[in-house]
Amino acid sequence: MTDTAEAEFCEYVAARQHALLRTAYLLTGNQHNAEDLLQTALAKAYLAWHKLEDSRQPEAYIRKIMVNEYAGWWRRAWRRNEHTTDELPERPPAGGHPSQHTAYDDRDALWQVVKTLPPRQRATVVLRYYEDLTEAETAQVLGCSIGTVKSQTSRALAQLRDRVNNFHGMEATR
């Protein structure tokens, strides 16, 4: 890699690392795994930086690496058997007084449900709704058709609705 290309890569990483880490976190649901995923994606992007046709727009390429790496990690049995937690001890206990219910609780509960989606569906939800990509941009990142993005998103949203409704049904019976 030329000195100029390396400088461009370093400048890009410095400017976009937080946004890319956010995408990695949304895919993995865990800060440590997100950092590993981003590091792997950036290492691969670094090696291919000189091959990028338009190095001014590498975002889709790096996101695609992250999605593919995440899918590969999910397929590995040892990853499925590990269960990390990010539960903070100072969180309020579940089932507190209804007046203590906040929008944060709703977002956190929804995120817990999103993390249960299969990798492909989770990737479409993350890219479409958390990263605010269009269907076409999501299709480009995932390497599939717009129709596949639409169907995966539809299935994911249906599963999310069912799981949230089931959760609220269980809460009402308590």
Can you give the residue ranges of every domain in the chain? 1-81, 101-174
- Interaxial angle between packed helices 31-48 and 59-75, expressed in degrees from 0 to 180 and rounded to the nearest 10: 130
Sequence-separated (6 or more) residues with CB below 8 Å from residue 31: 25, 86
Domain 1-81 has CATH 1.10.1740.10: yes
Name the nearest CA neighbour of 43 among 4, 75, 69, 81.
Answer: 69
Pick one of 3.40.1030.10, 2.60.120.380, 1.10.10.10, 3.90.1640.30 as the CATH number of 101-174.
1.10.10.10
User: Model pTM?
Assistant: 0.56
Q: Across the chain, how many H-helices and E-strands are there? A: 8, 0
Q: What is the pLDDT, as a whole number, of residue 99? A: 47
Per 3-state DSSP, the chain is made up of helix, strand and coil in percentages (nearest 5) of 75, 0, 25
Per-residue pLDDT tens digits for 2-13: 888 888 889 999
Q: What is the pLDDT, as a whole number, of residue 89? A: 47
Q: Where are the beta strands (DSSP E) in 29-127?
A: none
- Give the Cα separation of 63 and 133 in Å (integer): 11
Per-residue pLDDT tens digits for 104-124: 466 777 788 888 888 889 999
